Chains A and B, each alone.
Chain A
Amino acid sequence: MSVIVTFVGIILPYITIVAFFGGFIYRIKGWLSIPVPMPISVTYPQSRGEQVKNIASAILIFPDLFRKDRNLWFGAWPFHVVLAIIIIGHWRLFMDIPDRILMAIGYTTQGIEHLSSVFGTTVGIIFFIAVLYLLVRRITQVTLRNMSNPADYFVLLWLLGIAATGLTMRFVGLPYTNIATMQNYFWGIFTLHPIAPPTDPIFLTHYLLAQLLLISLPFSKLIHPIGIFFTQGIKHSLVVQKQVR
Chain B
Amino acid sequence: MSNMSEKDMSEKDVNPFDLPPSPSKEMPNMSPEKLLKKLAFKNIEMVPEKERPQKILKAMEAVLKERRSVATYLDTCTKCGACAERCHFYIGTEDPYNMPAHRVDLFRKVYKKHFTIGGKLLGSFIGAEEMTNEVLEEWRKYFYSCTECRRCSIFCPFGIDTAEITMAAREVMLRVGLGMNYVNKIIANLYGAGNNMGMQELAFWNSVQFCAEEIKDEMGIEVEFPGVKENPEDKMAKPKVGAEILYVPPSADLFVNVDTQIGAMLVFHAAGADYTMSHSASEAADFGIFQDYVDLKEINKRVVDEANRLGVKKVIYGECGHGWRAAKNIIEAWNGPLNFKVEHILEYTERLIREGKIKLDKSRVKEVVTLHDPCNLARGAKLLEPQRYILRHAATNFKEVAPEKSREYTFCCGGGGGLLTEELMDLRMKGGKPAAEAIRDVGAKILAVPCAICKAQFHVLMPYYNLDIEVGGVLDIVGKSIVIEGAKVPEEVEEAMAGKSKCSLCDAEFSSMDKCCEHAEKEHKISKDQCNMACESM
Residue in B closest to A223 when the chains form the complex, CB atoms: B75
> A30: CB under 8 A from chain B?
yes
Find B67's partner among A30, A37, A239 (CB 8 Å cutoff): A37
User: Which of chain A's residues have a CB closer than 8 A to the CB of B72?
Assistant: 31, 227, 230-231
Residue in A closest to B409 when the chains form the complex, CB atoms: A68
Contacts A65-B157, A224-B158 given; does A150 touch B125 at CB 8 Å: yes
User: Which of chain A's residues have a CB closer than 8 A to the CB of B127?
Assistant: 149-152
Find A146's partner among B96, B157, B330 (CB 8 Å cutoff): B96
C-alpha gap A36/B105 in the complex (Å): 22
Whether the pair B158, A231 counts as a contact (CB closer than 8 A) is yes
How many inter-chain residue pairs (CB < 8 Å) link A and B?
A: 158
User: Which of chain B's residues have a CB closer than 8 A to the CB of A64?
Assistant: 157
Please report which residues of chain B, range 50-76, place their CB below 8 angstroms from some CB of chain A when the two chains form the complex: 64-69, 71-73, 75-76
Contacts A147-B99, A150-B125, A150-B126 given; does A35 touch B158 at CB 8 Å: no
C-alpha gap A239/B382 in the complex (Å): 9
Whether the pair B82, A231 counts as a contact (CB closer than 8 A) is no
Contacts A69-B155, A147-B79 given; does A220 touch B126 at CB 8 Å: yes
State how many residues of chain B have any CB contact under 8 Å with chain A. Answer: 54
Residue in B closest to A151 when the chains form the complex, CB atoms: B126
> B185: CB under 8 A from chain A?
no
Residue in A closest to B378 when the chains form the complex, CB atoms: A42
Residue in B closest to A34 when the chains form the complex, CB atoms: B68
User: Of B69, B116, B293, B380, which is in contact with the most chain A CB atoms at under 10 Å from its CB?
Assistant: B69
Whether the pair B382, A42 counts as a contact (CB closer than 8 A) is yes
User: Which of chain A's residues have a CB closer than 8 A to the CB of B64?
Assistant: 34
Whether the pair B79, A152 counts as a contact (CB closer than 8 A) is yes
Q: Contact mask B116-160 → A, CB, 8 Å, 1/0?
A: 111000101111000000000000000000000000011111111
C-alpha gap A42/B379 in the complex (Å): 8
Whether the pair B158, A151 counts as a contact (CB closer than 8 A) is no
Contacts A69-B82, A221-B78, A230-B72 given; does A143 touch B99 at CB 8 Å: yes
C-alpha gap A1/B48 in the complex (Å): 61
> B102: CB under 8 A from chain A?
yes
User: Which of chain A's residues have a CB closer than 8 A to the CB of B76?
Assistant: 221, 223-224, 227-228, 230-231
> A148: CB under 8 A from chain B?
yes
C-alpha gap A2/B312 in the complex (Å): 81
Residue in B closest to A236 when the chains form the complex, CB atoms: B159
Residue in A closest to B407 when the chains form the complex, CB atoms: A243
> B85: CB under 8 A from chain A?
yes
Please report which residues of chain A, range 33-74, place their CB below 8 angstroms from some CB of chain B when the two chains form the complex: 34-42, 44, 62, 64-65, 68-69, 72
User: Of A27, A42, A152, which is in contact with the most chain B CB atoms at under 10 Å from its CB?
Assistant: A42
Contacts A34-B64, A143-B99, A147-B102 given; does A232 touch B159 at CB 8 Å: yes
A90 to chain B: closest CB distance in Å?
Answer: 23
Contacts A34-B65, A146-B99, A146-B102 given; does A234 touch B159 at CB 8 Å: yes
Residue in B closest to A152 when the chains form the complex, CB atoms: B79
Contacts A144-B84, A147-B96 given; does A35 touch B79 at CB 8 Å: no
A42 to chain B: closest CB distance in Å?
Answer: 5
C-alpha gap A149/B71 in the complex (Å): 19
> A233: CB under 8 A from chain B?
yes
C-alpha gap A239/B379 in the complex (Å): 11
A residues adjacent to B (C-beta < 8 A): 27, 30-31, 34-42, 44, 62, 64-65, 68-69, 72, 76, 137-138, 141-144, 146-152, 154, 216, 219-224, 227-228, 230-236, 239-240, 243
Top 7 A-B residue pairs of the complex, sorted by shortest distance between their CB atoms: A227-B76, A232-B159, A149-B127, A233-B159, A151-B126, A147-B102, A146-B96
Beyond contacts A36-B69, A222-B78: 7 other A-B pairs, Cβ-Cβ < 8 A, are: A35-B68, A38-B67, A41-B328, A42-B379, A147-B99, A232-B158, A232-B161
